[in-house]
């Protein structure tokens, strides 16, 4: 056999070798997701009630009367926040962080005050999530060799990784990396880094943990794009344990998802359509109404070329895990890829039950398909899964997974 040639096609990653124009997939190699975990804060609020709280606080004047209608159009039924007490008859008394605007504080808490909340709550929430993933993977925390943390809603140093060394009792020599401020698709980036580590070292056990406290960035605003963001985002955390496929031993009842390949796609002419910036009073999201049309126009062709290079077609995909940036973004992926509307039902259900939690959300969708009482309604699970995340840029980060049962 002659020496393998590297692909020069921009839609086929050069880490794969070609034979006869098609990448040969070796199902005995690569990286495997052994187990996942997800968690939300105890404080949960119905969307209609949340709209009422914001109305009474007077955080917007122009849109105040129509806030309940705008919030219900978001596709979200309920959301969780670290700012809410677990329960209470009076919804206004369940939080004290946000107060009515005053002449002295017209835009609410400062960024420094919001970062204090992040530093207090992000670590404990991520700890519980990582413990769940470690337990489902059937390993001990002491087996973890690499730690990857993911977050775009806060900063502190020592950071999340340092906190997990203490709370999980990780080995002091565990190698660590942080993926920060990338946005909603960052868990895909985290899993891609974990894949690279696991494929290069058969002994590696990589723990990837993402936590986002989006609710600490509520904006006092009249900007309609900010109002939409205020209605969508929520708090949550997710984690996954990744190892080399050759070292993965499936325990009874375990489900393994093999990471087959990934694609990073910059969507042209979209740099200003989705942004995430640090302001004086929290982080500020812009989400243009043009985002769905850009996705519709630009998504399908590069994905088809990428999959074709792997010897796979769109019709081979059994499960679609699409980050629910909002109902219109899900609609745009439906249209772009020519999907039956039921294909994204797990993504829509996750949006309804949890809101947009940014980077952790894709693992909530995966767990919805694998472990929920409604999982059987999403169709066959064995075979290929396509996982999408969209973030500022506008960038799409995509994973091809494979489940065998």
| 364 backbone φψ class: left, alpha, beta (φ>0; ψ -120 to 50) | alpha
Whether residue 226 lies inside any domain: the answer is: no
* Model confidence, pTM: 0.91
Q: Active site residue: 130, 152, 184, 214, which one? A: 184
Whether residue 289 lies inside any domain: the answer is: yes
Which tokens in the block code for residue 321? 């895990």
Distance CA 294, CA 160 (A): 35
**Confidence tier at 14 by pLDDT (50, 70, 90):** very low
**Confidence tier at 208 by pLDDT (50, 70, 90):** very high
State pLDDT tens for residues 143-161: 999 999 999 999 999 999 9
State pLDDT tens for residues 240-299: 999 998 877 777 778 899 999 999 999 998 989 999 999 999 999 988 889 999 999 999
Q: In Å, how far are 32, 137, 197, 273 from 404, measured between CA atoms?
A: 11, 16, 22, 38
State pLDDT tens for residues 285-339: 988 889 999 999 999 999 999 999 999 999 999 999 999 999 999 999 999 999 9
Whether residue 279 lies inside any domain: the answer is: yes
Whether residue 322 lies inside any domain: the answer is: yes
Q: What is the pLDDT of residue 150?
A: 99
Domain that holds residue 370: 257-403
Residue 393 has pLDDT above 80, yes or no: yes
Residue 18 has pLDDT above 60, yes or no: no
Residue 5 has pLDDT above 60, yes or no: no
**The total number of structural domains that make up the chain:** 1
Q: What is the pLDDT of residue 377?
A: 77
**Confidence tier at 29 by pLDDT (50, 70, 90):** low
List the Cα angle 329/371/135 in 5-degree steps: 115
Q: What is the pLDDT of residue 134?
A: 98
Distance CA 122, CA 214 (A): 11
Nearest Cα to Cα of residue 165 among 149, 154, 179, 153: 149
3-class secondary structure, 295: helix
State pLDDT tens for residues 97-136: 999 999 999 999 999 999 999 999 999 999 999 999 999 9
For residue 25, give the DSSP letter. P
**Confidence tier at 19 by pLDDT (50, 70, 90):** very low
| Burial class of residue 289 in the structure, from the number of CB atoms within 10 Å of its CB (0-12 exposed, 13-18 middle, 19+ buried) | exposed
Roughly how many angstroms between the first and final C-alpha of the chain, as a whole number? 33
Q: 198 and 244 in contact (C-beta within 8 Å)?
A: yes
**Confidence tier at 172 by pLDDT (50, 70, 90):** very high
Q: What is the pLDDT of residue 403?
A: 93
Whether residue 317 lies inside any domain: the answer is: yes
Distance CA 348, CA 364 (A): 11
State pLDDT tens for residues 63-78: 888 888 989 899 999 9
Contacts of 271 (CB under 8 A, 6+ apart): 393, 394
Which tokens in the block code for residue 243? 């190892």
- Per the listing, tokens 């105890």 go with 42
State pLDDT tens for residues 347-377: 999 999 999 999 999 999 999 999 987 766 7
Q: In Å, how far are 119, 234, 304, 321 from 314, measured between CA atoms?
A: 42, 32, 7, 14
Whether residue 146 lies inside any domain: the answer is: no
Q: 255 and 404 in contact (C-beta within 8 Å)?
A: no
Whether residue 380 lies inside any domain: the answer is: yes
Q: 11 and 309 in contact (C-beta within 8 Å)?
A: yes
CATH code: domain of residue 313: 3.40.47.10
Distance CA 207, CA 35 (A): 10
Whether residue 376 lies inside any domain: the answer is: yes
Q: 160 and 197 in contact (C-beta within 8 Å)?
A: no
Peptide bond into 85 cis (omega under 30): no
- Per the listing, tokens 């740099």 go with 271
Q: Is 184 a catalytic residue?
A: yes
Q: What is the pLDDT of residue 135?
A: 96
């Amino acid at each position: 056999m002659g020496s393998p040639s590297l692909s020069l096609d921009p839609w086929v990653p050069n880490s794969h070798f070609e034979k006869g124009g098609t990448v040969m997939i070796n199902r005995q190699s690569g990286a495997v997701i052994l187990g996942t975990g997800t968690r939300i804060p105890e404080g949960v609020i119905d969307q209609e009630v949340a709209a009422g709280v914001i109305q009474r606080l007077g955080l917007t004047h122009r849109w105040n009367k129509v806030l309940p209608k705008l919030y219900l159009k978001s596709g979200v039924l309920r959301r969780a926040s670290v700012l809410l007490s677990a329960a209470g008859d009076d919804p206004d008394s369940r939080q004290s962080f946000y107060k009515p605007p005053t002449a002295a504080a017209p835009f609410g808490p400062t960024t420094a005050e919001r970062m204090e909340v992040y530093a207090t709550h992000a670590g404990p929430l991520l700890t519980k999530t990582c413990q769940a993933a470690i337990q489902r993977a059937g390993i001990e925390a002491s087996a973890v060799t690499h730690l990857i943390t993911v977050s775009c809603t806060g900063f502190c140093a020592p950071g999340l990784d340092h906190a997990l060394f203490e709370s999980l009792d990780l080995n002091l020599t565990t190698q660590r990396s942080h993926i920060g401020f990338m946005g909603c698709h960052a868990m895909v980036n985290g899993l891609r880094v974990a894949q690279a580590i696991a494929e290069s070292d058969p002994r590696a056990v990589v723990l990837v943990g993402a936590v986002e406290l989006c609710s600490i960035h509520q904006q006092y605003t009249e900007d309609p794009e900010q109002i939409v963001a205020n209605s969508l985002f929520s708090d949550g955390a997710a984690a996954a344990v990744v190892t080399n496929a050759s070292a993965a031993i499936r325990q009874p009842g375990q489900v393994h998802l093999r990471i087959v390949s990934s694609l990073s796609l910059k969507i042209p002419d979209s740099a200003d359509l989705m942004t995430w910036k640090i302001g004086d009073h929290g982080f500020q999201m812009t989400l243009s109404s043009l985002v769905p049309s850009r996705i519709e126009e630009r998504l399908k062709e590069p994905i088809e070329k990428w999959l074709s290079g792997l010897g796979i077609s769109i019709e081979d995909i059994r499960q679609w895990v699409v980050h629910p940036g909002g109902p219109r973004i899900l609609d745009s992926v439906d249209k772009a890829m020519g999907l039956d509307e039921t294909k994204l039902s797990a993504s829509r259900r996750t949006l309804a039950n949890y809101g947009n939690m940014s980077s952790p959300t894709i693992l909530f969708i995966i767990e919805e398909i694998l472990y929920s009482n409604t999982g059987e309604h999403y169709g066959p699970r064995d075979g290929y899964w396509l996982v999408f995340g969209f973030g500022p840029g506008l960038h799409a980060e995509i994973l091809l997974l494979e489940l065998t049962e």
